[in-house]
Amino acid sequence: MTILQGDNLELLKTIKSSSVDLIYMDPPFFTQKTQKLSSKDNITYSFEDTWASIEDYKCFLHNRLIECKRVLKDSGSIFVHCDKTANHHIRLVLDDIFGADMFQNEIIWNYKRWSNSKKGLLNNHQNIYFYSKTKKFKFKTIYTEYSSTTNLDQILVERRRDSNSKTTYKLDDNGDYILSKEKIGVPLSDVWNIPFLNPKARERVGYPTQKPILLLEQIIRIATDENDVVLDPFCGSGTTLVASKILNRNYIGIDLAEEAISITKQRLETIIKTSSNLLKKGIAAYKTKTEEEENILKLLNAKVVQRNKGIDGFLPQHFQDKPIPIKIQKKNEDLNDSILLLQNAIKSKNLKFGIVIKTHTDNLLFESEVLSKNILVISHFELMIEKWLNNK
Amino acid sequence: MTILQGDNLELLKTIKSSSVDLIYMDPPFFTQKTQKLSSKDNITYSFEDTWASIEDYKCFLHNRLIECKRVLKDSGSIFVHCDKTANHHIRLVLDDIFGADMFQNEIIWNYKRWSNSKKGLLNNHQNIYFYSKTKKFKFKTIYTEYSSTTNLDQILVERRRDSNSKTTYKLDDNGDYILSKEKIGVPLSDVWNIPFLNPKARERVGYPTQKPILLLEQIIRIATDENDVVLDPFCGSGTTLVASKILNRNYIGIDLAEEAISITKQRLETIIKTSSNLLKKGIAAYKTKTEEEENILKLLNAKVVQRNKGIDGFLPQHFQDKPIPIKIQKKNEDLNDSILLLQNAIKSKNLKFGIVIKTHTDNLLFESEVLSKNILVISHFELMIEKWLNNK
DNA sequence: ACCGTCCCTGAATCATTGG
DNA sequence: TCCAATGATTCAGGGACGG
């Protein structure tokens, strides 16, 4: 919502105390080099990351972090991104300001990247330190899939330990197993495998040290709710703000460089995301097709059609020399609407048959009335299961 | 070759200067707790990890690291194992003694482990700091396999940069690609995925904080040649020495605790190294679902179950306090077989209902005979479409 | 009598090996 | 292939203690 240009120390002072839910901070890494990168348009952006001493650098951070703490709500938290060069010094400053007992996690961002053949191991990670302002910080656990080595069916049964801490299965009065409560998945780990931005990806706008949106999305998801306020005092090319916008959070961005501000504003206007295959998984959130619809089409091996009201995809094979269109019932559509939309599309495209996937029941009494011979209505698996279970 | 019991500060002083090639050090992590673990035979080994202050702890390390540096050869290096609790303090001490410019890598040991109910992210990594004594340290690059997303062209075809510094593939006079010399692989990354020593592993000797042999082997491989000298001043249950012995390196181990020394000696006599399926075949070998099956499970929002013949997944919600298993008909299975397998699983797990997804028609005449009230058979979309179209 | 803090115990967790 | 077992870490709850 707000993008400010200038020294973040001064500008942070203008922000109200206890007003921010999440700060993501990606300060210079103390590389002692000038960071630069040229974009496709041959415009070169750069910033200075050279310091008189590490003390100088720590002081620089210290002053800003004090303001950061002030503007955070009591339920707020801060994520500070650094790399191996100075992560230990940065963490000392954080311990100093937020307190060692407010340290929550060291997040390892792990990526694969080809790099020059230096002696030693390839540097394939960066560190993100997660501190909260108080013990009562906001945290939304993300649950992930179980490892494929886990025997989930085993875990389904309740167990207890006897006095020797031996495990036995719990049995009911009939001697049958007692099943455990619903499983929700494994809480997210502190090591995140997120691909480094492919240099060719469209997402890249030509600003040094740009971070992938997925990384920021994940941070925002675990630390905020919708409409919360996200602050990035070194916003650079604005990835944090873009991710905030995508996830419906409010945002404040600050950067010293005029170019940074203008890139950020541009990006926010036309949100671009890389379509790199590696990243696809997590970006379902703002594609035209919802993930659910995509799954249905994938299951049918269908060719996906974007931006068509009547047709979502086509079956892979023609039938009687005509393609067969698929229409998925949308959330706000009655089945009749869906069928009509498909019928219209069939007529205008001069097709023969079509398929509608019914995804929810609506209240119409005479659903079958509009059914026509050239359209097959198939219920989503979930609907069939629901119907069956309701009779049990 | 040598195992010494006593205070490592005193014992380090008895070791000749510039005589050691590699030091692996796994000091207490500053957890401020007593580390203990009771083994199968109810023998409990433990050590104290409580300190008056962080300064105390740093001083303790400082004194020992000074001796460590002295005993290292000029070509030698040190690997210091720690975790998130005090890694920043430890690195400061290391910077202080070895010099910040002798810092080579921060190794992240990443593992999966049983989870818990922590607020925040699961801690699934530990840090190992790699410093060398001089710039001329010994380093043997390990090459790993290319990741599956790597474009093979990049590996096999020679490239060059044209005048605009664009990369193009080199072509011979006939316009064919010139294949490059055999590539040897990707140099080892600084993030290591090595399984955590499982509670059930035979390799476990009942000593707390025991590290997997594999982890030590990797360190020893990159930093030493055969017959070099490896020193572990906090050798605990002796994993470092075992790995050294396996790899034909000479070793010196020191520990304060008498039990540690005796376990170590025992382990060195009969070396037990876990060689599980996971280590042999990799995690991918456990992922046995086809893409089609995964799509079906995803469409149902199901929890995936690997390694079970009768059950492929569970619906996300319980019904009447029982989970509902899903079985997908396999290529070579009749529908009856699938139903029977699921029925057996339902019986043995004391479940109520189940769902079978029929993926192909088989030639059985009386499919319906085995249908039972507690199982819902749903046809795959494709089957329904096929059937419908065949009547057209 | 009441509160907050500290410590101890108990329950819950799941990735993995072993039988 | 299937079934059984295990533990580092976490939180919750209860009891002890001191103010």
DSSP B54-70: HHHHHHHHHHHHHHHHH
pLDDT at site A275:
41
Cα-flanking dihedrals φ and ψ of residue B53, to 5°?
Answer: -160, 170
pLDDT at site B283:
84
Residues of A in contact with B130 (CB under 8 A): 120-121
Confidence of residue B173 (pLDDT cuts 50, 70, 90): low
Q: Which residue of A has its CA nearest to B302?
A: A145
Q: Which residue of A has its CA nearest to B42?
A: A164
Picking from A244, A263, A279, the residue at the C-terminal end of a domain is: A279
pLDDT at site B52:
80
Of A207, A221, A180, A341, the closest CA to residue B322 belongs to A180
| Predicted confidence (pLDDT) per residue in B159-172, tens digit | 555 555 555 556 66
Contact B88 A105 (CB under 8 A): no
Alpha-carbon gap: B372 to the closest alpha carbon of chain A (Å): 13
Do both B257 and B291 map to the same domain? no
Do both A92 and A37 map to the same domain? yes
When CB atoms are compared, the residue of A105, A295, A385 closest to B295 is A295
Question: Which one of B148, B297, B303, B312 makes the best mutation probe of the A interface by having the most chain A beta carbons within 10 Å?
Answer: B303
User: Directed axis angle between helix B381-390 and helix A291-299, to 10°?
Assistant: 50
Q: How far is the CA of A209 from the C1' of D5 (A)?
A: 48
Question: Does the pLDDT value for residue A370 go beyond 90?
Answer: no
pLDDT at site B148:
47
Report the percent of chain B where pLDDT is more than 70.
86
Helical segments of chain A, H only: 8-13, 54-71, 87-98, 152-155, 213-223, 239-246, 258-269, 291-299, 335-349, 381-390
pLDDT at site B316:
86
Residue with more model confidence, A157 or B329: B329
**CA–CA dist B168, B152 (Å, integer):** 15
How many Cα neighbours within 13 Å face the side chain of B78? 32
Q: How far is the CA of A101 from the C1' of C2 (A)?
A: 29
When CB atoms are compared, the residue of A92, A181, A188 closest to B122 is A188
Alpha-carbon gap: B255 to the closest alpha carbon of chain A (Å): 28
**CA–CA dist A190, A127 (Å, integer):** 10
Residue A88 in tokens: 């230990």
Q: Which nucleotides of strand C lie within 7 A of protein CB?
A: 11-18
| Predicted confidence (pLDDT) per residue in B212-245, tens digit | 999 999 999 999 999 999 999 999 989 999 999 9
Q: Which residues contact A73 (CB under 8 A, 6 or more apart)?
A: A18, A19, A20, A21, A133
Whole-Å CA distances, A20 to A24, A68, A89, A121, A239: 11, 9, 25, 39, 18
SS3 at position A143: strand
Do both A54 and A202 map to the same domain? yes
Q: What's the distance, CA A167 to chain centroid? A: 39
Do both A201 and A238 map to the same domain? yes
SS3 at position A9: helix
- The vertex-A41 CA angle with A37 and A47, nearest 5°, equals 30
Residues of A in contact with B283 (CB under 8 A): 147-149
Per the CB < 8 A criterion, the answer to whether A235 and A254 are in contact is yes
Question: Does the pLDDT value for residue A44 go beyond 80?
Answer: no
| Predicted confidence (pLDDT) per residue in A126-144, tens digit | 999 999 999 889 999 999 9
Contact A104 B124 (CB under 8 A): no
Alpha-carbon gap: B307 to the closest alpha carbon of chain A (Å): 7
Do both B149 and B292 map to the same domain? no
Per the CB < 8 A criterion, the answer to whether A280 and A270 are in contact is no
Choose the weakest-confidence range: A213-227, A273-287, A297-311, B41-55: A273-287
Write out residues whose CB is closer than 7 A to strand D.
Answer: A 151, 153-154, 159, 165-169; B 31, 37-40, 113-114, 116-120, 123, 198-200, 208, 307-310, 348
pLDDT at site B163:
57
pLDDT at site A168:
76
Residues of B in contact with A380 (CB under 8 A): 299
| Predicted confidence (pLDDT) per residue in A193-233, tens digit | 998 766 555 566 666 667 888 899 999 999 999 999 999 99
Burial annotation B35-44 (CB, 10 A radius, 16+ → b, else e): bebeeeeeee
When CB atoms are compared, the residue of B108, B188, B351 closest to A108 is B108
Residue with more model confidence, B285 or B59: B59
What pTM does this model have?
A: 0.87
Residues of A in contact with B190 (CB under 8 A): 121-125
Do both A154 and A169 map to the same domain? yes
Residue A184 in tokens: 């929700």
Alpha-carbon gap: A328 to the closest alpha carbon of chain B (Å): 13
Do both B155 and B165 map to the same domain? yes
Do both B87 and B206 map to the same domain? yes
Alpha-carbon gap: B181 to the closest alpha carbon of chain A (Å): 17
**CA–CA dist A143, A345 (Å, integer):** 41
When CB atoms are compared, the residue of A152, A153, A384 closest to B378 is A384
When CB atoms are compared, the residue of A149, A319, A357 closest to B286 is A149
Question: Does the pLDDT value for residue A11 go beyond 90?
Answer: yes
Pairing of strands A103-110, A33-38: unpaired
Per the CB < 8 A criterion, the answer to whether B27 and B82 are in contact is yes
Residue with more model confidence, A329 or B31: A329
Give A295's DSSP letter. Answer: H
Picking from A225, A260, A279, the residue at the C-terminal end of a domain is: A279
Residues of B in contact with A92 (CB under 8 A): 88-89, 92
SS (H, E, C) A157-199: ECEEECCCCCEEECECCCCCECECCCCCCEECECEEECCCCCC
Alpha-carbon gap: B300 to the closest alpha carbon of chain A (Å): 6
Residues of A in contact with B189 (CB under 8 A): 112, 121-122, 124
Q: Which residues contact A392 (CB under 8 A, 6 or more apart)?
A: B319, B320, B353
Of A95, A41, A48, A97, the closest CA to residue A69 belongs to A97
CA dihedral sign, ordered B180, B185, B191, B193: positive
Place of tokens 């041959």: A42
Q: Which residues are paired to B4 by β-bridges?
A: B254
Closest nucleotide to residue B114 (Cα to C1')? C14
Averaged pLDDT, A292-303: 89
Question: Does the pLDDT value for residue A280 go beyond 90?
Answer: no
pLDDT at site B293:
92
Q: How far is the CA of A90 from the C1' of C4 (A)?
A: 35
Picking from A151, A186, A221, the residue at the C-terminal end of a domain is: A186
Question: Does the pLDDT value for residue A286 go beyond 50?
Answer: no
Do both A206 and A227 map to the same domain? yes
Q: Which residue of B has its CA nearest to A382?
A: B300
Per the structure, the complete domain to which residue B173 belongs is given by 143-186
Residue A215 in tokens: 């990384």
Do both A240 and A104 map to the same domain? yes
CA dihedral sign, ordered B378, B380, B382, B383: negative
Residue A148 in tokens: 């494929």
Do both A262 and A386 map to the same domain? no
Question: Does the pLDDT value for residue B246 go beyond 90?
Answer: yes
CATH number of the structural domain spanning residue B119: 3.40.50.150
Residues of A in contact with B139 (CB under 8 A): 119-120
Do both A254 and A367 map to the same domain? no
**Closest residue, by C-alpha, to the C1' of D9:** B116
Count of domains in chain A? Answer: 3
Helical segments of chain B, H only: 8-13, 54-71, 87-98, 152-156, 213-223, 239-246, 258-269, 277-281, 291-299, 335-349, 381-390
Question: Which one of B385, B387, B388 makes the best mutation probe of the A interface by having the most chain A beta carbons within 10 Å?
Answer: B385
Confidence of residue B143 (pLDDT cuts 50, 70, 90): confident
Question: Which one of A31, A88, A218 makes the best mutation probe of the B interface by having the most chain B beta carbons within 10 Å?
Answer: A88
